[in-house]
Amino acid sequence: MTVPRPPEPIPGARLLFSLDPSVSYLNHGAFGAVPIGVQRAQQRLRDEMEANPLRFFTQGLVERIAHTRRHLATFLGADPDGTALVGNATTGAAVVLQSLGLRADDEVLTTDHGYGAVAFAVERECARTGATHRCLPVPLDAGDEEIVEIVRAGLRPGRTRLLIVDQLTSPTAKLFPTAAIAGVARERGVPVLVDAAHAPGMLPISVASIGADFWVGNLHKWAYAPRGTAALVVSEPWRERIQPLVVSWEQHGGYPARVEWQATLDYTGWLAAPAGLFTLRSLGVDRVRAHNAALAAYGQRVVGDALGVAPADLPDPGGPTVAMRLVPLPPGVATTVDAAHELRARIAERLDAEVSVAGWNGRGWLRLCGQVYNTPEEYDRLAIRLPTLLAQG
């Protein structure tokens, strides 16, 4: 079997991160990894905050957040006036859900590729309001046209109050045709929330061109921002209806300030986020994206080969631009949440490798990421040692 040639490393990129060199960190999609320069930028802001907390919070902080918001929105191709900074994509989804005013006859429609914490938020809001949560199954190998038709058939105009779809799914690394889905939903008068947790930095995106009512994406994964940095983008007709999860002193400032201002929140991560974009641009945005996607594809092939998975059986639901790839695990392995967590922990402890393991649709899946600090040798080591660990049960 011919394994694709791994990409050439980006010189000096690995030295930009403070990751433990004894661990193969192959799960950037989980919590990201903050470059050292960005860590230092945030620390300088924290030093400023602690030197005079009253001055930091009361003299110009709202304006500094707005300036940062405009910078990040421009990178995302989003309207700065419709963009609010939030802690993460799950928080943004919760803000949207509780602002809808769901009622007993309403339903929220999702797919079975959605993120678990967002599903929890949907279930909680439905339980609180009496609304219904309905989940559409989408085959892993479904093409764009098939996905659109599944969604089209699943919409119930007049009852479906919100459709939530992922731009790039977390458990299955599948790329959804969000612009086409938003168009179908718009024809039927159904608002759409796009969960784009993994999109900023990894994918070339223009939020405005998607045409969704709501879009939320993390910048602390693939855009190198400090953790707790995400953007919630809301279309103009909805902005005045969006309410924060916690009311604070910018409540009368309207959207987005009322969502962003959470009193004594540590805002230094948001203010340091442009340093992450500077790092990405310094390395070369297109270069980083191509490198990471090629490295993830290499890892998928070598690990899949070691587990006896034929190349034709290695899923490619995201296409060549996605820096996350799936490897199917042997039947019966890691098919439940608890079993997946246990296997991930064993791989970390015994193989010194951090990966993602998920049970989806009755099968266990290993998710591998590619990032500029990774090397082909890390995937090679995992491929050599993983079959023995799995054989031990």
Phi, psi of 214 (to 5 degrees): -140, 140
Q: Is the pLDDT reported for residue 218 higher than 70? A: yes
- Nearest-angstrom CA–CA distance, 66 and 54: 19
* pTM assigned to the model: 0.96
- Nearest-angstrom CA–CA distance, 285 and 280: 6
Handedness of CA 336, 340, 343, 345 (dihedral sign): negative
Q: Mind listing the pLDDT tens digit for each residue in 35-49?
A: 999 999 999 999 999
With bands split at pLDDT 50, 70 and 90, how would you rate the model's confidence at 1? low
| pLDDT score of 22 | 97
How confident is the prediction for the chain on average, in pLDDT?
96
Q: Is the pLDDT reported for residue 3 higher than 90? A: no
Phi, psi of 166 (to 5 degrees): -95, 140
Q: Mind listing the pLDDT tens digit for each residue in 97-143?
A: 999 999 999 999 999 999 999 999 999 999 999 999 999 999 999 99
Straight-line distance from the first to the last Cα atom of the chain, in angstroms, rounded to the nearest whole number: 27
Q: Mind listing the pLDDT tens digit for each residue in 175-200?
A: 999 999 999 999 999 999 999 999 99
